[in-house]
Structure 1
Amino acid sequence: MTSRHKGVIMEKRVLKVSFAKGGSGSVSPRTTIPKSWLDILEVSQDEREIEMILDKEKKQIIICKKK
């Protein structure tokens, strides 16, 4: 779904988080990022480092390409 927020075009998708159980019994949550979004952020197989920012107050995760 595409929408506008303060003049900026934003795209929203509802995704699922999967929980993989490791051999030691620990659980690792994972999700996927749409390839089209990574293309927009210019994240590639050669330049694949990203930064994740947790905003605890807004309960949001922000993902950016590492500069």
Structure 2
Amino acid sequence: MSRRKSSNTLIIPQAQQALDQLKYEVAQELGIQIPQDGYYGYMASRDTGAIGGHITRRLVQIAEQQLTGFKR
């Protein structure tokens, strides 16, 4: 079976660092330890899903604030 490269490419490559930082912040808030080696295979799907869900909520919130010009 061949491996496919992710189709999720960033329009702004420098955003990767900001997204990684957001991932670690959200995981810390949820009390979830992210593997240091970067391999998520041993993590529970529930944990990775929770991190992804919270990241999505936060990104939507940031976008809404930018669209309305409102800053907290």
| Both structures adopt the same fold (TM-score exceeding 0.5) | no
Higher relative contact order (CA 8 A, sep 6+): 2
Judging by fraction of residues, say which structure has more helix.
Answer: 2
For normalisation by structure 1, the TM-score amounts to 0.28
Judging by fraction of residues, say which structure has more strand.
Answer: 1
For normalisation by structure 2, the TM-score amounts to 0.27
